[in-house]
Amino acid sequence: MLKQFLTAVFLFFPVIAFAQVMSNQAAPDFTLTDTNGQSHSLSDYKGKFVVLEWFNPDCPFVKKHYNSGNMPGLQKQYTAKGVVWLSIDSSAPGNEGNYPPQDLNKFMAAKGAAPTAVFTDADGKIGRLYGAQTTPHMFIIDPKGILIYQGAIDDTPSADIDDLKTAKNYVSAALDAAMAGKPVAVSATKSYGCSVKY
Amino acid sequence: MNMKCLKNLYWLLMFSAAGFSPAFADEASETHSHIKLVSEQTAVALGSTFWAGFDLGLDDGWHAYWQNPGDAGLSPKIKWKLPAGISAGDIHWPYPKLLPTGPLVSYGYDHEVFLLVPVSVDSDFQNPKEVALEAHADWLACKDICVPYRADLKLTLPVAKDASAIKFNDFKHAFDQSLENIPIGIPMISSSFVSDGDYWDLRIQTPHVKSKSQIIFYPFRDDLIEHAAAEELHVRPQGYEVKLKKSHLYQGGDLKALQGVAVNPDGWLENDETKAIIINAHPAPMPIPMASASTVPVKPLHFWLACLFALIGGLILNLMPCVLPMISIKVLHLLERHPDRRTAFCHSLAYAAGILISVWALGLLLAVLKSAGKFAGWGFQFQSPVFVIVVAMVLFALALNLFGVFEFSTPDVGSVPLPQTDYLSSFVSGIITTIVASPCTAPFMGTALTLAISQTNLVGFAIFTFLGLGLALPIVLLSAFPGLLAVLPKPGIWMLYLKRVLGIILLACVLWLLWVFSIETGMMDLFKLSGNSSQGIQWQAYSSPAVEEARRSGHGVFLDFTAAWCINCQVNDRLVLQNPGVVHAFKDQSIIAFKGDWTKYDPGITKALASFGRDSIPVYVYYAPSSGSAEILPQLITPKMILEKITKH
């Protein structure tokens, strides 16, 4: 039943190529409607730092970062500094992590999270545009629209909360450097996590 | 608000809460993956290295991941808790398969995989009764959802009193299978790469090119290639070319080495085993290292060279200790009986025919065994104790005959002209000559043989023919040109003395064969590891995990593949490896030495020989300290050569 539905979905939607975006180049523009019905475009945020965070509430790696307060902490810390934080769920209908928008809002509320906006990308269009492979997968865009970081949230791939004590966070490293006008040391890493459920 | 309204509101709220409260998936209530820590041995010896294995099982549809998980996933991680005196190496990963999910591709396993780890026990380990291993395993198993698993594992093995107390259990088969699937480096297969725009162009040079094979390359690093991009394969006469799409994440500038595993489902060698090899490709152009003459040459250019080598090798074989008496006997026959040139020549043809038939039979047997998947090498028939004892009896009879103890119906005494019909005896003596020549390999022969066995039947047939011709050549020439005989003294009493001497040489051969027989049947426990004399090189028995550990230790490692029935090996052993200068140098340089004893059939050693591209022994391999590559030495070694190799860095 699910398979038939998925086939139908893919038949009706154009096959979108899985792209890659290069670091230190212009990040592709997109438009998405958030979980509160509001439309956002990346170009709306020129002049601000933008973080794209791919997530899936059911993925053990995402749970590690949310249950520990790590991701909500980052969101609060940087949105307070004017960073626009967009959390995107690209799970296809019928796959793990695919939920109606209100449920995603509930999830964020329950975890004390504070992204600027939350999006469902059920047809996977934006995920494929950016080449999002895992949850979590992080992309950071600077005020000029250049992609200054893509990849893992930190340097310790695991589902173990204890590893957060010693893990080096690539997102805060990149944002702190860029906001201070310094070059970003690490602009691309291999992300880790569950596969995005396209 | 009245009660009814409140009640409705209450139920409405409850209903909405239930409806909207998403049941986010908890940890899977059933377990879809299990892990056990096991060993294939029932006991372990102190001062040894053995394989421990993580038996990772997965339900249908579930996957675990390789050392590079690919686009998504996580590799299993092991944290050991070991007592002092025990150390564990890294996981030896069997080669993975592609796990595509939508637009993403990961690398991993399904159903069941054994992750093998070499574990070393010090000889002075404090617990004389048992060895207890503890490990914490973390791994990720995914189907359409992912579940991280963890387990605390324990394995206790009794310490064996001696090597005979160690038996293998039901896991041996699974361990052997896994060892087959662990990628190995094959020195005769070389690789290089070129950066070509958006692609890495990997070139793999191998003498065994199979045109229909679908090669897949799995890199060790996860940020080198686009795992989901198709790998474009081109089959060339010298090998394969694989175009790999560069990862958009790669930021390392010029790539120094392209490392990973290349899988050929049809096998990298001429049979269908050895499906995975380790690739350590450097940027081209890089001259393919010209090792000693024993490197396998490329087929079309070197066929005639191989035939020449076979001819020369066959000629030199005549000088080998067990063959020389046979040749000398034949020469004596010619001298004694002064047959007319024609008869002599015909007898020599019968003799040559005997040699050729036996050489072809040996070659055919080797080819049949190879295609049946059982590796065999030149001289392998001596691994059978029955064969050894039969040959010993034949040589003994010949020796007695030379001493005049008794005579055959073959014409051995007197100066009676050879009856024309007795060509059978010449034919048989040709067969015997080949059989006693087979444990020896001459210089040049090794290369020719490897090529013969690895190429098509026609090529192999030709090369073996030249070998037989070389072996038969001296007698044929002497018979055809009796003038050559004139250089020898006229028949006289000296011939009797010579016969006695030859008889003694043959008796020595018989004694040597009896020694081989005793080793093969275990009558004499001559090969105890602890039986190393304190003055000589301290040899350890060859085993691939032990060699791995030794290479990791940063010392030079020397491998000697030998057998009791291999005369060249024994000669090299006495003259070179027991040379005081060499022994001293081994100690000075702290070289770790391993002996691979092929006296009896051993699949592990056969596989090791194949990985060095060799079919005959002796094989000497040297790994310089902290080097990644093996250096294969020629079959004819000298103390000077060994000293040069191990003292230069």
Burial B218-234 (b: 16+ CB within 10 A, else e): bbbbbbbbbbbbebeee
* Residue B108 and residue B206 in one domain: no
Nearest CA-CA distance, residue A116 and chain B, Å: 22
Contact B248 A21 (CB under 8 A): yes
Distance between CA atoms of residues A119 and A32, nearest Å: 7
Select from B490, B520, B550 the last residue of a domain.
B520
Q: Which of B20, B22, B74 sits opposite A157 (nearest CB)?
A: B74
Q: In chain A, how many domains are there?
A: 1
Pick the more confident residue, A142 or B5.
Answer: A142
- Return the pLDDT at B9: 56
CATH number at residue A63: 3.40.30.10
Contact A187 B106 (CB under 8 A): no
Contact B77 A158 (CB under 8 A): yes
Q: Is residue B602 within 8 angstroms of chain A, CB to CB? A: no
* Residue B498 and residue B561 in one domain: no
Q: Which amino acid is at B57?
A: G
Establish if A3 belongs to a structural domain. Answer: no
* Residue B375 and residue B448 in one domain: yes
Interface test with A, best of B68, B104, B198 (most A CBs within 10 A): B104
- Please give the full DSSP string across B12-62, using - where no structure is assigned: HHHHHHHHHS-----S-SS--EEEEEEESBS-B-TT-EEEEEEEEEE-TT-
Contact B142 A189 (CB under 8 A): no
Contact A194 B147 (CB under 8 A): no
- Cross-strand bridge partners of residue B234: B241
Residues of A in contact with B222 (CB under 8 A): 190
Establish if B5 belongs to a structural domain. Answer: no
Interface of B with A in 210-229 (CB under 8 A): 222-223, 226, 228
| Percent of chain A at pLDDT exceeding 70 | 92
From chain A, which residues contact B within 8 Å (Cβ)?
A: 18, 20-23, 57-61, 95-96, 99, 102-103, 106-107, 128, 131, 133-134, 150-151, 157-160, 187-190, 192-198
User: Which residue in A has a C-alpha nearest to residue B18's C-alpha?
Assistant: A103
- Return the pLDDT at B444: 65
- Return the pLDDT at B287: 39
Interface of B with A in 110-139 (CB under 8 A): 138
- CA quadruple B494, B499, B503, B505: dihedral positive or negative? positive
- Return the pLDDT at B536: 79
Task: Provide the 8-state DSSP code for B230.
Answer: P
Span A21-53, pLDDT tens digits: 999 999 999 999 999 999 999 999 999 999 999
Contact A96 B20 (CB under 8 A): no
Mean pLDDT of A92-100: 95
Distance between CA atoms of residues A108 and A37, nearest Å: 16
* Residue B332 and residue B460 in one domain: yes
* Residue B408 and residue B465 in one domain: yes
- The strand pair at A194-195 and A147-151 is best described as unpaired
* Residue B554 and residue B627 in one domain: yes
Helix (H, G, I), strand (E, B) or coil at B159: strand
Establish if A101 belongs to a structural domain. Answer: yes
- Return the pLDDT at B238: 84
Interface test with B, best of A133, A137, A156 (most B CBs within 10 A): A133
Q: Which of B22, B102, B140 sits opposite A159 (nearest CB)?
A: B140
- Return the pLDDT at B269: 87
Select from B120, B151, B176 the last residue of a domain.
B176
Task: Please count the other Cβ atoms lying within 10 Å of the Cβ belonging to residue B130.
Answer: 11
Interface of B with A in 232-251 (CB under 8 A): 248-249, 251
Establish if A12 belongs to a structural domain. Answer: no
Which tokens belong to A157? 């791939």
Contact B138 A21 (CB under 8 A): no
- Crossing angle for the helix pair B493-520 and B323-337, to the nearest 10 degrees: 150
Contact B103 A22 (CB under 8 A): no
Establish if B9 belongs to a structural domain. Answer: no
Contact B138 A189 (CB under 8 A): no
Q: Which of B73, B104, B249 sits opposite A189 (nearest CB)?
A: B249
- Return the pLDDT at B407: 57
Establish if B527 belongs to a structural domain. Answer: no
- Return the pLDDT at B10: 52
Q: How many CB pairs under 8 A join A and B?
A: 88
CATH number at residue B211: 2.60.40
Q: Which of B25, B74, B104 sits opposite A192 (nearest CB)?
A: B74
Establish if A115 belongs to a structural domain. Answer: yes
* Residue B505 and residue B553 in one domain: no
Establish if A2 belongs to a structural domain. Answer: no
User: Which residue in B has a C-alpha nearest to residue A158's C-alpha?
Assistant: B74
- Cross-strand bridge partners of residue B136: B79, B152
- Return the pLDDT at B5: 56
SS (H, E, C) B239-308: EEEEEEEECCCCCCCCCCCEEEEEECCCCCCCCCCCCEEEEEEEECCCCCCCCCCCCCCCHHHHHHHHHH
Contact A160 B223 (CB under 8 A): no
Contact B223 A189 (CB under 8 A): yes
- Return the pLDDT at B3: 62
* Residue B568 and residue B627 in one domain: yes
Establish if A14 belongs to a structural domain. Answer: no
User: Which residue in B has a C-alpha nearest to residue A6's C-alpha?
Assistant: B102
- Crossing angle for the helix pair A170-179 and A70-79, to the nearest 10 degrees: 10
Contact B249 A150 (CB under 8 A): yes
* Residue B442 and residue B366 in one domain: yes
Nearest CA-CA distance, residue A20 and chain B, Å: 7
Residues of A in contact with B103 (CB under 8 A): 18, 128, 198
* Residue B264 and residue B370 in one domain: no
Establish if B1 belongs to a structural domain. Answer: no
Residues of chain B with pLDDT under 70: 1-29, 285-302, 335-339, 370-378, 406-421, 439-448, 450-457, 485-486, 488, 522-535, 615, 626-628, 649
Q: In chain B, how many domains are there?
A: 4
Range of the structural domain that residue A143 is part of? 44-195
Terminal-to-terminal C-alpha distance of chain A: 17
User: Which residue in A has a C-alpha nearest to residue B228's C-alpha?
Assistant: A18
- Which helix (H) or strand (E) covers residue B165, if one does? none
Range of the structural domain that residue B264 is part of? 190-283
Distance between CA atoms of residues B117 and B103, nearest Å: 34
* Residue B46 and residue B167 in one domain: yes
* Residue B485 and residue B562 in one domain: no
Is A55's pLDDT higher than 90? Answer: yes
- Return the pLDDT at B339: 67
Select from B131, B146, B176 the last residue of a domain.
B176
Is A150's pLDDT higher than 50? Answer: yes
Which tokens belong to B177? 């299978």
Nearest CA-CA distance, residue B253 and chain A, Å: 13
Which tokens belong to A193? 């996590």
- Which helix (H) or strand (E) covers residue B204, if one does? strand B199-205
Establish if A16 belongs to a structural domain. Answer: no
- Cross-strand bridge partners of residue B232: B243
- Cross-strand bridge partners of residue B415: none
Q: Which of B24, B103, B106 sits opposite A18 (nearest CB)?
A: B103
Establish if B16 belongs to a structural domain. Answer: no
- Cross-strand bridge partners of residue A125: none
Residues of A in contact with B251 (CB under 8 A): 23, 187-188
Terminal-to-terminal C-alpha distance of chain B: 94
B265, B241 Cβ separation under 8 angstroms? no
CATH number at residue B131: 2.60.40.1250
Establish if A163 belongs to a structural domain. Answer: yes
